Amino acid sequence: MIRLRLTELLADESFRRGRRVELLEVAQATGIHRTTLSKMVNVRGYNATLANVDALCKFFRCGVGDIATYVRDEDVPAAAGDVRSAPEQP
């Protein structure tokens, strides 16, 4: 699965600017809808478009590898309510 690192990038950008950088600010600067950014932060495995990744790279002044990382499926812990985490029935 591809893991988006938007939360970490927001924290780094907030530190650099000396103030909190909100998703709304990123949305206004990139043209990516705030709801889409929220999904990118909160939905595991969100399928971001390359256009959105490109816009985020420009905003954060970084490369694609700074925005997204690959995590093997077996290394991803099951989320609460995930059917993979339910015990098998006899």
Q: How do the domains of the chain map onto residue ranges?
A: 2-73
Range 3-27 average pLDDT: 96
Confidence of residue 89 (pLDDT cuts 50, 70, 90): low
CATH number of 2-73: 1.10.260.40
Average pLDDT, the chain: 88
pLDDT of residue 51: 97
Helix (H) or strand (E) holding 44: none
**pTM, to two decimals:** 0.78
Least Cα distance to 17 among 5, 31, 25, 27 occurs for 25
Q: Which residues lie across from 4 on neighbouring strands?
A: 68
Contact predicate 12/61, CB 8 Å:
no
